[in-house]
Amino acid sequence: MDIFPQAFSDAILLAGLYTLMAVGLSLGFGVLRIINFAQGEMIMLGAYGAFWLFTLMGVDPLISLPLLVVAGFALGWVLFHGVVAKVLDAPHINQILLTFGIGLAIQHVAIILWTGNARSTTPDYATTSSVVGDVLLVHGRVTAFAAAVVMVAALIAWLQWSETGRATRAVAENRSAAVLMGIDVNRIYALSFGVSCALSVATGVVVSFILTITPFMGFPMLVKAIAIVILGGLGSIAGTVLGAFALAFAETFVSYYLPEGSGWAEGIAFVLIIGILLVRPRGILGQAVET
């Protein structure tokens, strides 16, 4: 129990990051009914964007965050109109193969442009730390948690109180009824896909000073994001938050309390998926939308 406060603190900080990582995927599925398998590569692009702005121009990742979020939104908007819109009514396997192919293409372009060498941003707060009671707080992780909370809160506020956010929720709830109410569904689709990509890019910026940056970093994060969305319930933002906390606490406590736990922690996402699908096939809060 001596290490419980440290484990609890680490789990909370990780849960905030996991929430930001998965909430864009949940939004995209909730509105478009498409799981974007290129989401991991969007995270990778955000991390590289933060790295190059920091390395070449000395721009702190937190300063570059708004610019890269806008760039991520623009990329998502272009990808939707250029590619994704053409498979909205196609079988799910076609949608999966398309987004998976987009992700592979982005990954290989990144390898050609930047090689496979590991990189990271190194702002001053990335490795400094403070001790509060019995808890060691790494400033980089606390900063990442704070940025994630702000981004997720902004998304929830936009969905709850803005006109466009309410229209987005209406389309997610019932596309046909939204059309009858005069909502431009295609515009909402493009907007939602853009926001989803922007949130993934934001995740990449945040992890750029926590994790190693490589062209291959996206896939493991995609797997965890999918696990979180399944845990919480497909298309449910609240469920995604709960799923993120469930995975973060499970990984952290397995890492702290089991022998060689750091190795076991990487596979805990799959254990949770199997367990939740056996007990509650529609997720913790239930599937918010039908496929």
**pTM (predicted TM-score):** 0.92
The 3-state DSSP class for residue 220 equals helix
283: left (phi over 0), alpha (psi -120 to 50) or beta: left
CA dihedral 284, 286, 288, 291 (to 10 degrees): 110
pLDDT at 287: 55
In a domain, 277, yes or no: no
Residue with tokens 């406590």: 253
The Cα 146–Cα 219 span in angstroms is 24
In a domain, 78, yes or no: yes
In a domain, 283, yes or no: no
CA atoms within 13 A on the CB side of 54: 22
Residue 86 belongs to domain spanning:
4-216
With a cut of 50, list the residues of the chain below it in pLDDT: none
In a domain, 145, yes or no: yes
pLDDT at 222: 92
Q: How many domains does the chain have?
A: 1
In a domain, 265, yes or no: no
In a domain, 34, yes or no: yes
In a domain, 134, yes or no: yes
pLDDT at 233: 78
State both tokens at 171: 């389309």
pLDDT at 227: 87
In a domain, 15, yes or no: yes
